[in-house]
Amino acid sequence: MMTDPIADLLSRIRNASLVRKPEVLLPYSNIKFAIAKILERHGFVGGAEKIDQGMGDIRIRLKYGPDKEPAIRMLNRMSRPGCRIYHGWRDLPREDRSRLVILSTSQGVMAAAEARKRRLGGEMICEVL
């Protein structure tokens, strides 16, 4: 039984990019698909799509630079099942082009910049560099 599916998603992406795999497959869940779509929107992965085979899977195409350097240099899980981390909208970390913070809010999973615009706080999911 898997206790932290988000950590599993991040580990699969991290491990696949370290060995230069073109894509990674993982079991479908709404939150994992939402995180993958945010990574796609911000240019950290090449694409994310749901595959309808049996229970359903998510295919994430990884993105690499011209020298085969992964677009994702680091993935950090911020909030864990044993230690949840919450921030109000004023306390959300600032982002730039190379840093993305993803959080879960009452209106869904979104990047910190979007949550700040909507004046929403929430649980810090992960940080991507």
Amino acid at 54: G
Indicate whether 108 belongs to any domain. Answer: yes
Domain count of the fold of the chain:
2
Q: Are residues 48 and 17 in the same domain?
A: yes
Beta bridge partners of 103: 110, 124
Q: Are residues 55 and 80 in the same domain?
A: no
Q: What is the pTM for the complete model shown? A: 0.94
d(CA 36, CA 105) in angstroms, rounded, equals: 16
Distance CA 108, CA 122 (A): 10
- What are the residue ranges in the chain where pLDDT is below 50? none
The CATH number of residue 18's host domain is 3.30.1370.30
Please indicate, yes or no, if residue 32 is contained in any of the structural domains. yes
User: 70 lies in a domain?
Assistant: no
Buried b or exposed e, range 26-61, using 16+ CB within 10 angstroms: bebeeebbbbbbbbbebebbeebeeeeeeeeebebe
Residues 85, 56 share a domain: no
Assess contact for 62 and 128: CB atoms under 8 A.
no
| 9/38 same-domain check | yes
Q: How many CA atoms lie less than 13 Å away from 83 in the CB half-sphere?
A: 2
pLDDT of residue 1: 63
Q: Nearest CA to 79 among 58, 105, 98?
A: 105
One domain, residues 83 and 105: yes
Q: Which domain holds residue 85?
A: 75-128
